[in-house]
Amino acid sequence: MHSEKVAFLQKELKKKGLIVLEPRRESNIIRPPIYKKKVAKISLSAFTEIIDINSTCAIVEPQVTFDKLVKETLLLGLVPPVVPEFKGITVGGAFAGTSLESSSGVYGQFSDTVLGLTVLLGNGEIIGVSRTENSDLFWGLSGSYGTLGIILSLIIQLIPAKKNIHIGIPGPFEETLIIGNKKIHLTAAMTDSPANFFTGPFSKWFYKRAPERQNFILPLYDYLFRYDRGAFWMASTFQGPSWLLYYFFHIKKELSFKKAWEAPFFFRPFFSSKRLYKTLHQLPSPWFEKNFIVQDFYIPLSKLDIFLKEIVLRPLWICPIKPTSTPQLFSPHYLPCDQLVDVGVYGIDLEASTTSKRLEKICYELKGRKMLYAYNYYSLESFWEIYNEKAYRCLRTKYYADKTFLSIEKKVLSR
């Protein structure tokens, strides 16, 4: 079945000329795909198969969601080392668009846990890439947003899993929530001890429950996707008078969400990240850009306090991330420093575009990088001051991407 889908895709590629991948309605990329309007499209919607799972790795197609993958690996007592927090994120999207989680301080980004790929090049050729085979393309594909080739399958590292996870003890899982003026530091490790904390469809959002009880055991699956329902705290953003007062009367104190409302319990099951992102994609893009900020900034740990002083919005998500020296040209953790932290900034800001521009500039001044999934305000010149254009152009030429796939700046700077 996989080989038949690949053969069909090869034929489609030869017909189309310059192409982009068909956008997914539930995509976690915020900015609108304006660049796709006048370009031929190819769909990967059929590539949702888990090809094989063994004791060390899983071989999967790019449109497999982490929800589906984790359910299958847990049946075998295994789990990927890095699992993004939203169930609908696909493995291909996590690699080509970069992704991290609370285990990233130990394991790095999801891309660092991928062992190999098969890739369809712009000339129709299919090749294998890994740390030792065509390694320049393997690392270059990380964070390249589909501009160097089409990922057909991934080999993903697996590690032994336990049934539950104990929050409140030292371990490889680490994150900090900043809510108002309070910092809640959560560390965790897997355990086979019985769970005493459960997340049901009618429960409060995790970011509200965890600070109330900072030492507890919950099922590993629930922990991995603890922010899926409510999309961190974005579902709280539009609730109650906090939103109304802020939007209509510009009352700045509401920016902190100290009085963020909780959805009535009978509505909570409907606030999955997939539903929320589908709704966001229905909103007019200029309105969203002006009023809502969703950004992730990777900052050297030594500069974190400086960066936090520049952010008014609360809550914030702070997640350690292990830097890489492998040439992942567009990955935000490809930086020469000992330790990075991701600062997740999500919520309402009536001057969101201005705030994003300012934080983007400060991030650059502090020798950090940002994820490129959201709105980006770099000029073309400043973009290539950050990223290695020469190395990227060489990859596009060497692997036949020039005449088939859009260049990355036309995607991530398209507004």
Count CB neighbours of 182 within 10 A.
Answer: 11
Whether 286 is covered by a domain: the verdict is: no
- Our count of domains for the chain comes to 1
Of the chain, the percentage scoring pLDDT greater than 70 comes to: 87
Residues 181-189, mean pLDDT to the nearest whole number: 95
pLDDT at residue number 286: 81
pLDDT at residue number 238: 56
pLDDT at residue number 190: 98
Whether 206 is covered by a domain: the verdict is: no
Residue 398 burial class via C-beta count within 10 angstroms: exposed 0-12, middle 13-18, buried 19 and up: middle
Task: Supply the DSSP symbol for 196.
Answer: -
Residues 225-241, mean pLDDT to the nearest whole number: 76
CA distances from 97 to 72, 176, 256, 372 (A): 23, 23, 29, 8
Whether 343 is covered by a domain: the verdict is: no
Whether 33 is covered by a domain: the verdict is: yes
Residues 3-26, mean pLDDT to the nearest whole number: 80
Whether 388 is covered by a domain: the verdict is: yes
Q: Does residue 36 or residue 389 have the better pLDDT?
A: 389
CATH code of the domain containing 98: 3.30.465.10
pLDDT at residue number 155: 98
Given strand 114-120, what is the order of strands in its sheet? Answer: 50-53, 57-60, 150-157, 114-120, 126-130
Lowest mean pLDDT: which of 89-103, 144-158, 161-175, 222-236? 222-236
pLDDT at residue number 259: 45
Whether 143 is covered by a domain: the verdict is: yes
Residue 257 has pLDDT above 70, yes or no: no
Residue 40, domain extent: 2-160+382-412
pLDDT level of residue 187 (50, 70, 90 thresholds): very high
Question: Mean pLDDT, the chain, as a whole number?
Answer: 89
Residue 254 has pLDDT above 50, yes or no: no
Question: In degrees, to the nearest 5, what angle opens at C-alpha 398 toward C-alphas 396 and 402?
Answer: 35
Whether 348 is covered by a domain: the verdict is: no
Whether 287 is covered by a domain: the verdict is: no
